[in-house]
Amino acid sequence: MTNLNSWQKHFSSRIIIIIALGGLLLGGCVTSRKTTYLQEYDDSEYSTEYVPPEDYLIQHNDNIYMNVATPDPRLSAMFNAMGEGGNTGFDAATAQIYSYPVEIDGTVDLPYIGSLYVMGLTIMEAKKLIEAALSDYVNDATVTVKLVNNTVTVLGEVVAPGVFPIYKERLNIYQALALAGDLDVFGDRFEVSVIRKSLEGSVVTTFDITDKNIIDTEFYYIQPNDVVYVKPMRGKFFAIETFPWALVLTGITTAILLDSYLRE
């Protein structure tokens, strides 16, 4: 009877050790459900009604690049910060140097045109406003207006976090994440946050990029100066790549002590 009780205690202790180590290892498992995009959920929290993307509204501290083209190069040079060359050799760095800042009061000061209030306007609305102001000087001018500080910042559990320029008119959340090399295996795809600056202040929205229905939401498309943050999965702490071996050894030692205690 004594031997039977001893065997039972020994068997129980082994089960405890197996369960403890198994739970530790399973905590780091990443299933395909956690990493697959555009899944269809019957209980999706997002509406299937399409919400068209909003146009970006100019804000203070933005920088606007303007180029005026006319049949007379000398006349064009009057309005262009880059002179007669216009947009020759145009790139992001050059545009930053020769752009016009939107002041805290929402105005931008343009050569010969003077101060125009552009805060809260779309780029297209600002273009029309500048063209109207130019009509006092020239009737056949072609105006190009661009937002210079057009970037997206991607942080957190991605392969290559950083600040990336946006060259497309519409960049969606998946394309933005692709710029950063996609999420790493332990990025939490169920909780991706977008921090967006607005005229009323910053807005933070967190959503599930594994859900196919997000393609119809207002945050599917990235806006200039958005910040995308990917939080780590809870199981990352137990990932094989960064496995806490000291913790495992401590657990094993504790299990051995428990085993010795149960054998007594």
Closest to 30 in 3D by CA, of 229, 152, 184, 148: 184
Predicted pLDDT at 175: 95
Class of 63-147 per CATH?
A: alpha beta
What's the pTM? 0.73
Q: What is the CA angle 89-92-94, rounded to 5?
A: 50
CA Rg value for the chain: 29
* Token pair listed for 155: 């942080």
Domain ranges of the chain: 2-26+240-263, 32-53+151-232, 63-147
Number of H helices, E strands in the chain: 7, 12
Classify strands 201-207 and 187-198 as parallel, antiparallel or unpaired. Answer: antiparallel
Amino acid identity of residue 189, one-letter, is: R
CATH 3.30.70.100 fits 32-53+151-232, yes or no: no
Closest to 205 in 3D by CA, of 192, 224, 217, 215: 192
pLDDT string in tens for the chain (264-residue length):
555 455 455 545 555 555 555 555 455 555 666 778 889 888 898 888 888 888 999 999 999 999 898 888 888 888 887 655 555 455 666 767 889 999 999 999 998 889 999 999 999 999 999 999 988 888 888 899 999 989 999 999 999 999 999 988 889 999 999 999 999 988 999 999 999 988 888 899 998 999 999 998 888 999 999 999 999 987 655 554 455 555 555 666 666 655 555 555
